[in-house]
C-alpha cells in the first residue's frame, strides 16, 4: 500500500448530512494532513462545502450519487434501493476496488453491516463480522466487541471476536500484549450461558498469543480490568447504550446541581476549567466510531447523530486502522488459531471424553 | 395480614456482616417505627449490637444460627451446607411460616435465588422468579427486570416479567398505569432475537391492563422512556453493572477534575452543597435492593457490599412491597393474563397460520 492513506466517506447516511461529514474531514485533515478523502454523495451539496475549504478540497474527490440509505430502512430495503448506487455502498466499494484504505459511514448500522459483508466478504474462518468500540476506562481505554453487528454469537464466533479484538487493542491502543475477558454475569465458573462457557473453554485450552483473563462483569468495562471485552452484539449494544444513557443522566444531575444556589453558581464559575475537562472526557464524540472486524477491509461506523468532532474521531480511528494494517494482523492471528484449533480437534478425537469441567 | 409488618433479616450473608445489617435496621426503624425485625444469625454477635440500641431491640427478635452462606459458594454447595440451618434459609422460611411478611438478604445471589425458589415456590404459571431493580432516571424511577435471577428467558418468561414488573411499578413507584418496554437493540421490528420478538407479539395481542410501549434501547432506561423495562437476567445484570461502573468512572473523572487547579478547588468549596446533592443522587445505596418477583412471598436481595444506608434502603423496599401486598396484585394480574393467553391459544388454533410479521 502507498504511504498516503485514502478514506472513502459515505457523506449521506448520517442525521446531520453532508455538512457534518465535510466539517469532520476538515478537522481530521488538520490533524493528519497527508490523508486523502473520497466523498460519496450529492455533488450539488458537497461541491460548495469543499469550495469553502481549499485545503480539504486539494486532497478530496467527489463521487456523485443522490441515493442515500435512510436511518429507518431495513437492511433488505436498503439493499433493494441502494445496492451499487447508494453513497454507503459506493464508499465501501472504494475499499474493495483498492482506491481507499478504509470506509467511514454515519449511516444505518443494519444496512452498513449487510452491505459491508456483501461487498468486502468475511475473512477465512469468520462467518460474521463484529462491530468493535473503544470504551474509556479508569485505566485508559478498552476495546469492546461485538457492540451490535450480530444479535447472537455462537461459541466459535466469540473466540474469533477475542482474536480480532486483541489485534485491535494492539493496533488502536498500542498495547503490546493485551488481556482479553469474556463478559458474563459473574466471575464464578457456573454462571453464564452455554456459548460463553464453551468459548472460555476454547480460549483457555488453545495456545493463543495473548492472555485470556477469564470472565469479567459489566462494571469491569469502566474499571479497565482487561484491554478487550468480548460479548455478543445484543449484550454489547445494550451495555454501550446503557453506559451512554447513564453518562447523560449524570451530566443532567450535575448541571441541575450546579444551578441550585448562588454559592453553587459561583463555584461553577471558579471550577469552569475543571468542568470543561470533565465534559471533554464524557463527550461521546471523543470515542466515536465502531470498527467492523472480520472483513477483508476496514469499515468504520460512526454514530448516526455524530457532529463534525465525532466524525473527525471516527476518521482518526479509520486512518489508524488503515495505517497499521489491522486486516493483515487479524489474518495472521486467525491463521495461527485455526492451526491451534485443528490441533485441538485432533487431540479431542484421540481422547474419547474431553473434560469440560 | 396484621397491620404491623415483620421483616426477616439474613444477618450473616453480606460482606460487612451483622453490624451493617443491625445498623441498617436501626436507620429503617426511625423512618418506619411500627415494623418488627427477625434477625437470623450468630446470637453472640447480634445480641451486643441490639443491646446497644434499645429502641430497635424492643421491636426485634434473634433467631440463632452460626451457619452462613459464603459469597463464593455455588448454589449447590450453599444448599448442601445451608439447607434448613443457614441464616439465609431461615430468613426466607420465616416468610413461608407466616411469621414475616418479607425476607431481606445481602448474600450470594445464586444461593438466594435457589433457596427462595425452593422454600417459597413460584406462583402459578411462573416457572422461574425474576429479580427486579429500581433504576434512577431523568423522569424519576423505572423498574428493570430481570437483573440476574435467570441466565436465559424464553418468550413466556419475558411476558410474565412484564406483568410482574408492571405490578411492582404500581406498588413501588405509585404509577397508576405504568408503561412497559422490552429491551432490544433497536426500535425496528426486525431487530432482536426470537424470544423478544415473540414476547412483543404476545404483549401486543393479549388484552393487558397496561400500556405496552414496544421496544426500548439501553439508553432509554436512564431516559425514563417507560416505567418498566423487561429483559432476560443476563442482559439485565450486565446493563445494571455497566451503569454502576459508568457512574463510578464519571465520579472518578469529576473528583480528578476538581483537584486540578486552585480555582477548581475554590469552586468546589463554593459548590460543595451541590456536590453533596449529586453524590446522594448517584449513591447506589439509595436505590439498593432487588426484589424477587414470581414467588409466593417477598424476598429482597440487597447488594453484597451494602452499607447500613444501603440495607436501610433494601428494608424500605421490602416494607413497601409487603405493605402493598404485591404478591396478591401479581397473582390477580397473572390470572387475568392466563385467561387472555388461553383465549389467544384458542384463536391461534382456529387460525392455521398466525401472523408474526
Q: Are strands A290-293 and A228-230 parallel, antiparallel or unpaired?
A: unpaired
C-alpha cell at A151: 444479535
Nearest chain B CA: its distance from A211 CA (Å):
23
B238:A253 CB<8 A: no
CB-CB neighbours of B333 under 10 Å: 20
C-alpha cell at B101: 411478611
CB-CB neighbours of A342 under 10 Å: 10
> Rounded to whole angstroms, how far apart are CA atoms B2 and B124?
25
DSSP-derived secondary structure for B283-311:
-GGGG--EEEESBSSEEEEPPTT--HHHH
Contacts of B270 in chain A (CB under 8 A): 263-264, 266-267, 270
Alpha helices in A97-193 (DSSP H): 109-120, 155-172
Return the residue in B194, B197, B242 with the most chain A beta carbons within 10 A, the one to mutate for interface testing.
Answer: B242
Weakest mean pLDDT among A284-288, B3-7, B328-332: A284-288
Q: What DSSP designation does B86 have? A: B
Residues 6+ apart with CB under 8 A from B174: none
What is the model's pLDDT at position B148? 85
What is the model's pLDDT at position A12? 92
Residues 6+ apart with CB under 8 A from A243: A135, A221, A222, B218, B242, B243, B245, B246
Are A102 and A187 contacting, i.e. CB atoms less than 8 angstroms apart? no
B235:A235 CB<8 A: yes
- Reported as a pLDDT band with limits 50, 70 and 90, residue B342 is low
Are B16 and B23 contacting, i.e. CB atoms less than 8 angstroms apart? no
Peptide bond into A31 cis (omega under 30): no
Q: What DSSP designation does A12 have? A: S
B191:A273 CB<8 A: no
Average pLDDT over residues B13-42: 93
Judged by a CB distance cut-off of 8 A, whether residue B125 touches chain A is no
- Reported as a pLDDT band with limits 50, 70 and 90, residue B303 is confident
> Rounded to whole angstroms, how far apart are CA atoms A267 and B254?
14
What is the model's pLDDT at position A355? 39
> Rounded to whole angstroms, how far apart are CA atoms B314 and A318?
47
In the block, cell 430497635 appears at B56
Are B301 and B109 contacting, i.e. CB atoms less than 8 angstroms apart? yes
- Reported as a pLDDT band with limits 50, 70 and 90, residue B355 is very low
> Rounded to whole angstroms, how far apart are CA atoms B266 and B25?
38
Q: Order of strands across the sheet with A102-105?
A: A60-64, A36-41, A6-10, A102-105, A298-301, A290-293, A130-137, A140-145, A228-230, A179-183, A211-216
What is the model's pLDDT at position B103? 97
Residue-wise over A41-60: b if at least 16 C-beta within 10 A, else e?
Answer: bbeebbeebbeeeeebbeeb
- Reported as a pLDDT band with limits 50, 70 and 90, residue B144 is very high
Residue B132 has pLDDT above 90, yes or no: yes
Q: Which residue of A has its CA nearest to B149?
A: A185
What is the model's pLDDT at position B43? 96
Integer CA distances (angstroms), B200 to A30, A113, B254, B312, in order: 49, 25, 40, 36
CB-CB neighbours of B328 under 10 Å: 11
Are B136 and B283 contacting, i.e. CB atoms less than 8 angstroms apart? no
> Rounded to whole angstroms, how far apart are CA atoms A235 and B185?
9
- Strand, coil or helix: A347: helix
Judged by a CB distance cut-off of 8 A, whether residue A198 touches chain B is no
Burial bucket for residue A21 (CB in 10 Å: 0-12, 13-18, 19+) = buried
* pLDDT tens figures, B228-249: 999 999 999 999 999 888 888 8
Integer CA distances (angstroms), B103 to A194, B59, B298, B318, in order: 32, 16, 6, 7
A238:B148 CB<8 A: no
Q: Which of A151, A190, A246 sits opposite B193 (nearest CB)?
A: A151
Are A36 and A327 contacting, i.e. CB atoms less than 8 angstroms apart? no
> Rounded to whole angstroms, how far apart are CA atoms B113 and B119?
10
Return the residue in B250, B258, B303 with the most chain A beta carbons within 10 A, the one to mutate for interface testing.
Answer: B250
Are B108 and B78 contacting, i.e. CB atoms less than 8 angstroms apart? yes
B238:A218 CB<8 A: yes
Judged by a CB distance cut-off of 8 A, whether residue A283 touches chain B is no
Q: Which residue of A has its CA nearest to B267?
A: A267
Q: Which residue of A has its CA nearest to B270?
A: A267
What is the model's pLDDT at position A205? 87
Q: What domains can you pick out in chain B, each with its CATH number?
A: 1-121+295-324 (3.40.718.10), 124-285+325-357 (3.40.718.10)
Partner A, chain B 53-82, Cβ-Cβ below 8 Å: 72, 74-75
- Strand, coil or helix: A84: coil
Judged by a CB distance cut-off of 8 A, whether residue A131 touches chain B is no
> Rounded to whole angstroms, how far apart are CA atoms A172 and A324?
9
Per-10-residue mean pLDDT of chain A, 357 residues long, equals 82 88 96 96 96 97 94 88 94 98 92 94 90 90 90 89 93 90 74 86 84 93 96 93 88 81 80 72 67 95 86 93 91 77 53 40
Residue B138 has pLDDT above 50, yes or no: yes
CB-CB neighbours of B195 under 10 Å: 17
- The enclosing H or E element of B150 equals none
C-alpha cell at B61: 427478635
What is the model's pLDDT at position B96? 98
- Reported as a pLDDT band with limits 50, 70 and 90, residue B128 is confident
> Rounded to whole angstroms, how far apart are CA atoms B191 and A79?
16
DSSP-derived secondary structure for B87-145:
HHHHHHHHHHTTS-SEEEE-S-HHHHHHHHHHHH-BPTT-SS-EEEEEEEETTEEEEEE
Partner A, chain B 148-187, Cβ-Cβ below 8 Å: 148, 151-152, 183, 185-186
Judged by a CB distance cut-off of 8 A, whether residue B357 touches chain A is no
CB-CB neighbours of B51 under 10 Å: 9
What is the model's pLDDT at position B354? 38
Contacts of A148 in chain B (CB under 8 A): 185
Q: Which residue of B has its CA nearest to A182?
A: B238
> Rounded to whole angstroms, how far apart are CA atoms B58 and B69?
28
Residue-wise over A124-155: b if at least 16 C-beta within 10 A, else e?
Answer: eebebbbbbbbbbbeeebbbbbbbbbbbebbb
Are B173 and B140 contacting, i.e. CB atoms less than 8 angstroms apart? yes
Q: Which of B250, B263, B282 sits opposite A273 (nearest CB)?
A: B263
A185:B218 CB<8 A: no
Amino acid at each position: 500500500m502507498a504511504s498516503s492513506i485514502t478514506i472513502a466517506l459515505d457523506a449521506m447516511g448520517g442525521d446531520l448530512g453532508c455538512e457534518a461529514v465535510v466539517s469532520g474531514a476538515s478537522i481530521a485533515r488538520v490533524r493528519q494532513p497527508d490523508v486523502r478523502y473520497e466523498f460519496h454523495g450529492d455533488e450539488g451539496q458537497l461541491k460548495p462545502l469543499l469550495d469553502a475549504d481549499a485545503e480539504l478540497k486539494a486532497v478530496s474527490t467527489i463521487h456523485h450519487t443522490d441515493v442515500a440509505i435512510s436511518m429507518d430502512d431495513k437492511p433488505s430495503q436498503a439493499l433493494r434501493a441502494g445496492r451499487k448506487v447508494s453513497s454507503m455502498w459506493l464508499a465501501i466499494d472504494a475499499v474493495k476496488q483498492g482506491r481507499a484504505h478504509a470506509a467511514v459511514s454515519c449511516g444505518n448500522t443494519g444496512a452498513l453491516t449487510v452491505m459491508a459483508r456483501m461487498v468486502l466478504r468475511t475473512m477465512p474462518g469468520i462467518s460474521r463480522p463484529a462491530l468493535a468500540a473503544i470504551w474509556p476506562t479508569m485505566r485508559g481505554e478498552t476495546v469492546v466487541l461485538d457492540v451490535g453487528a450480530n444479535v447472537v454469537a455462537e461459541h466459535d464466533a466469540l473466540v474469533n471476536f477475542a482474536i480480532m479484538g486483541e489485534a485491535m487493542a494492539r493496533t488502536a491502543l498500542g498495547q503490546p500484549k493485551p488481556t482479553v475477558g469474556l463478559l458474563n454475569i459473574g466471575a464464578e465458573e457456573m454462571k453464564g450461558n452455554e456459548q460463553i462457557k464453551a468459548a472460555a473453554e476454547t480460549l483457555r485450552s488453545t495456545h493463543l498469543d495473548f492472555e485470556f483473563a477469564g470472565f469479567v462483569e459489566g462494571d469491569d468495562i469502566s474499571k479497565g480490568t482487561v484491554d478487550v471485552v468480548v460479548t455478543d452484539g445484543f449484550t454489547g449494544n445494550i451495555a454501550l447504550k446503557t453506559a451512554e444513557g447513564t453518562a447523560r443522566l449524570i451530566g443532567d444531575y450535575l448541571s441541575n446541581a450546579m444551578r441550585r444556589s448562588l454559592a453553587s453558581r459561583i463555584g461553577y464559575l471558579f471550577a469552569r476549567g475543571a468542568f470543561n475537562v470533565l465534559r471533554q472526557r464524557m463527550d461521546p464524540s471523543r470515542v466515536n466510531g465502531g470498527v467492523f472486524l472480520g472483513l477483508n477491509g476496514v469499515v468504520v461506523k460512526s454514530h448516526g447523530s455524530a457532529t463534525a468532532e465525532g466524525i473527525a474521531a471516527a476518521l482518526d480511528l479509520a486512518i489508524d486502522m488503515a495505517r497499521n494494517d489491522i486486516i493483515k494482523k487479524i489474518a495472521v492471528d486467525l491463521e495461527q488459531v485455526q492451526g491451534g484449533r485443528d490441533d485441538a480437534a485432533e487431540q479431542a478425537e484421540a481422547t474419547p471424553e474431553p473434560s469440560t469441567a
